Chain A
Amino acid sequence: MASILALVTGQPRLELAAGDTLIQAGESGGELYVLERGRLLVERDGVPLATISEAGALIGEMSVLLGVDHSASVRAEAPTTLRVIEDAIPFLERTPLMALHVATLACERLERTSALLVELRKETEGRASEQGLLSRIFGALTTPEVRGRVAEGE
């Protein structure tokens, strides 16, 4: 991912100490961050979701692309350096390789998630409650329209 860091060398740097919060769930987004070094913890609704430590990893892209508030909190677990892209949408519109990279990363995550879900579905075959839940998750993975149904509590 050195190429991604090369695309953002003109952007300002942000230094975080261990324990610093980068993103707070519920706050408005709009900025994209690229990890140079360090380690970040992602949490959603108090559930720890992931640790991000790979140089070139993107943070904040979901709120940028969806135009929504941050759905997860992100804080530094170690001294961390990031590049900051303010007004990320215009940046992506004039940087096609970055836009394509963002799409590719999302795609990789979907692909690995999908494979894990197929595995889970095979493990839980014949158990009705798990199968119902998995059907909804598969729907969400393939078409975002399923969100409306979730919101209605179906």
Chain B
Amino acid sequence: MATLLTLTFSQPSLRLEPGDVLIKEGDPGGDLYVLESGRLRVERDGVTLATISSAGALIGEMSVLLGTENTATVRAEKPTLVRVVKDALAYLERQPLVALRVAMLLSQRLDATSALLVEAQKQVARGKPPEPNGVFGRLMATVSGEKS
């Protein structure tokens, strides 16, 4: 299957210098970015969540798909190039292969998170199932698709 960078080749690129903010927590979202090169740091509520440096990584998809403000701040840690998809929801409705690719990337994250949560729960509870209303119970129900 074609990568996001291949699928979005006709979209414009944006260049960031170290320290430049790509996305700011609380700002309206709606645009999607695909990392071409460089390194980005993701922060939420002042907590560093991740560093993104893989070409083809997706940024901004949460606000696009959920129709919410940006829930995290993303800034460049070194010179960075991103592909920009403006008005991304309309773009995704026209481009099922991109929508499918986005769904696949998100599923990989859910799967990796779910596996780690199961592992963490086993470490903490030594084989006992999680309390449904405890934090692990709520986390695993959520990651597995239960509506809160």
Min CB distance B68 to A, Å, is 8
Interface of A is mostly: helix
Do A72 and B144 touch across chains, with their CB atoms under 8 A apart?
A: yes
Find chain B residues with CB under 8 A from A118 CB.
44-45, 47
B 45-84 binary contact with A (CB < 8 Å = 1; else 0): 1010111101001000110011010010000000000000
**Is A104 interfacial (CB 8 A cutoff)?**
yes
Find chain A residues with CB under 8 A from B47 CB.
118, 121, 138
Find chain A residues with CB under 8 A from B103 CB.
61, 65, 92, 99, 102-103, 106
**Contact residue range for chain A?**
35 or more
How far is B94's CA from A108's CA once the two chains are assembled, in angstroms?
21
Do A144 and B109 touch across chains, with their CB atoms under 8 A apart?
A: yes
Min CB distance A99 to B, Å, is 4
**Is A18 interfacial (CB 8 A cutoff)?**
no
Residue of A nearest to B51 (CB): A143
Find chain B residues with CB under 8 A from A108 CB.
65-66
Interface of B is mostly: helix
- Checking A105, A113, A139 against B50 with a beta-carbon cut-off of 8 angstroms, the contacting residue is A139
- Checking B54, B122, B143 against A143 with a beta-carbon cut-off of 8 angstroms, the contacting residue is B54
Do B114 and A114 touch across chains, with their CB atoms under 8 A apart?
A: no
Q: How many residues of B contact A (CB 8 A)?
A: 61
**Is A89 interfacial (CB 8 A cutoff)?**
yes
Do B106 and A113 touch across chains, with their CB atoms under 8 A apart?
A: no
Do B116 and A62 touch across chains, with their CB atoms under 8 A apart?
A: no
Which among A65, A72, A94 has the greatest number of chain B C-beta atoms within 10 A? A65
Find chain B residues with CB under 8 A from A143 CB.
50-52, 54, 57, 109
**Is A26 interfacial (CB 8 A cutoff)?**
no
Residues of A within 8 A of B (CB): 42, 44-45, 47-52, 54, 57-58, 61-62, 65-66, 68, 71-72, 89, 92-97, 99-100, 102-114, 116-121, 123, 133, 136-147, 150
Which are the 8 A-B pairs with shortest beta-carbon distances? Answer: A142-B50, A106-B106, A144-B108, A96-B96, A50-B146, A140-B112, A50-B144, A103-B103
